[in-house]
Structure 1
Amino acid sequence: MSSSKKDRRRLPPPDPAPLPGLIDAHTHLAACGGRTPEAVKEILDHAESVGVTHVVTVADDMVDARWAVEAARWDCRAFAAVGLHPTHAGDLTDETRAELEQMLTEPRVVAVGETGLDYYWTTRSDDCADPSTQRDVFAWHIDLAKRTGKALMIHNRDADRDLLDVLKAEGSPDTVVMHCFSGDRHVADECVDRGYYLSFSGTVTFANSDELREAAHITPPELMLVETDAPFLTPHPYRGQPNQSYCVPYTARALAAVKGLGDADMAAILGANARRAYSLPLR
């Protein structure tokens, strides 16, 4: 890679034209540098300046869960999701169960997750929980979402069939969010039949994502969310550069084009869907 290309990859994308009414349905504020009240405020001020009024910041592990809850306390524009990423499923103990259950009593914690199955890392990382442990811990998270009445935020990587089968066997909670949806049109169709929300990230803008755009095309607008998964998955043409919640309008406009809707109409739908999915108390 040339030095100029390396330099460009370190630069944040330029601000998109503002698109009011959007909510980032899944971000990681701590991983974006939001580890103090001042840093969180700076990230959310930037997002709000282009129309992204609120975010849901998400945990991968217990350390991240504590950060997420703190961020939601620091700034009224942030809400939290807490749980154990499937690669960290082995961290579920009596103590972490109790701590997660306590976190879910907080009104600004609006979802359980991200949880699910990740088979990609089982063969690539010695630290990744094995599939059997992942499935058991996923089932516990499903039950937790049902007990607390919170949305269930799903992480799925290379595990489409098993993940959908576990959800069916355990019984889905009222609200399921398929974070960073990456399946094909057939997986999308099954999720839609079950009434799950499909949350689309910057990957839907990538040149090699025709099948994902087809999945978005067949998803009813009322079941669509938009997210960054920041600091990852920056939308085209800024792929590989640092992502933050202010980049949501790029993906929202791409979804509008896929759906044949006006940008403002798409933004209004996506924002309303996020408020409904997470029962957001916007205060």
Structure 2
Amino acid sequence: MARNSDRAGEPPPPPDPLPVAVVDSHCHLDLMDTEVDAAIAAAVAVGVTRAVTVGVDLPTSRWQADVADAHPELYAAVAIHPNEAAHGVSEETFAAITELARRDKVRAIGETGLDYFRTPPEAHAVQQESFRRHIAIAKETGRALMIHDRDAHEDTLRILAEEGAPDTVVFHAFSGDAEMAKVCADAGYVMSFAGNVTFKNAANLREAAAVAPAELLLVETDAPFLTPVPWRGRPGGPYLIPLTLRVLAETRGVGVAELGASIAANAERVFGPW
């Protein structure tokens, strides 16, 4: 379907509600053109009763931690995004992220990882060092590690192996193919699929989603980004999880309620009970 470019600035209408309650495992509520309370209410109305809101630098990480403290439906993730880390990260910033990670409502270190799409080769070493430091923070604080991996599969997996992965690793907006999904499954890494799994040109993601073990599967929006079809190109929100979840269920040949219940249980295992 077309991207609805004539109405690209408008949020899509709400989808049909889900038959079970699920979690949006990765969104950026600070980047949405919607008040937090309204975004939560819209999500709850369609069965998305919980969400993890994610930082990309120190100020946004503090914002996520504070907003999670104020809303029982939310948990937070804190980190320096790899594209930010490519410019260098101070010791004071790593210390501040570690301190934030110890707060009760912060349940993941993310998003961290590698992004070779936007980072030139001369900055890869700096980005890799930041990733290693975030792995250490996740292990020190007992939090899940939430990975951003773009065009950097080999190095991401290598560094995880070299450093020793934390107990819980989540590949946010999973971008690999079926073979990488099998590698992640063998390592026990969780794969979180976003709205881009619904895109027409994303057969590789659907193939990965089909082979990912049910117990290692999450769903997310990455809102306001990666809005699923038929609204690709419009601003997204956690309330659009049902569109992605239904495509995942169809891809895997299971019922929406069955998959939703499994994903909800996985989210509680990864982030803890709400």
The normalised TM-score by structure 1 is 0.92
Q: Secondary structure at the match of 1:235?
A: coil
Equivalent residue for 1:134? 127
Contact 1:87 1:129 in 2 (8 A): no
Q: Secondary structure at the match of 2:112?
A: strand
For 2:116 and 2:210, the matched residues in 1 are separated by: 27
Equivalent residue for 2:98? 101
For 2:167 and 2:4, the matched residues in 1 are separated by: 46
Structure 1 residue 43, shift from structure 2 partner: 0.6
Equivalent residue for 2:41? 45
For 1:87 and 1:6, the matched residues in 2 are separated by: 28
For 1:207 and 1:250, the matched residues in 2 are separated by: 14
Q: Secondary structure at the match of 1:130?
A: helix
Equivalence map 1:82-101=2 (5 Å): 82-89=78-85, 90-101=87-98
- State whether structure 2 residue 108 is matched by structure 1 residue 116: no
- The alignment-based identity, stated in percent, is 46
Q: Which amino acid aligns with 1:192?
A: A
Give the ranges of 4+ consecutive aligned residues of structure 1 lying more than 3 Å apart after TM superposition: 4-7
Structure 1 residue 5, shift from structure 2 partner: 4.6
Q: Secondary structure at the match of 1:180?
A: coil
Which of 234, 251, 254 matches 1:261? 254
Contact 2:88 2:126 in 1 (8 A): no
Equivalence map 1:1-283=2 (5 Å): 5-19=4-18, 20-33=20-33, 39-89=35-85, 90-123=87-120, 130-280=123-273, 282=274
Contact 2:197 2:205 in 1 (8 A): yes
For 1:65 and 1:112, the matched residues in 2 are separated by: 10
For 2:222 and 2:25, the matched residues in 1 are separated by: 8
For 2:111 and 2:219, the matched residues in 1 are separated by: 16
For 1:151 and 1:175, the matched residues in 2 are separated by: 5
Contact 1:60 1:88 in 2 (8 A): yes
Structure 1 residue 11, shift from structure 2 partner: 1.8
The normalised TM-score by structure 2 is 0.95
Deviates more, 1:82-91 or 1:104-113: 82-91
Q: Which amino acid aligns with 1:105?
A: R
Deviations 1:167-188 (A, max 9, x none): 0000000000000001111111
Q: Which amino acid aligns with 2:99?
A: Q
For 2:14 and 2:7, the matched residues in 1 are separated by: 15
Contact 2:4 2:231 in 1 (8 A): no
Q: Which amino acid aligns with 2:119?
A: T
Deviations 1:168-225 (A, max 9, x none): 0000000000000011111111111100000000111111111110101110111100
Structure 1 residue 14, shift from structure 2 partner: 1.4
Q: Which runs of 5+ in 2 are unaligned?
A: none
Considering only aligned residues, what root-mean-square deviation do their CA atoms show, in Å?
Answer: 1.5
Q: Secondary structure at the match of 2:254?
A: coil
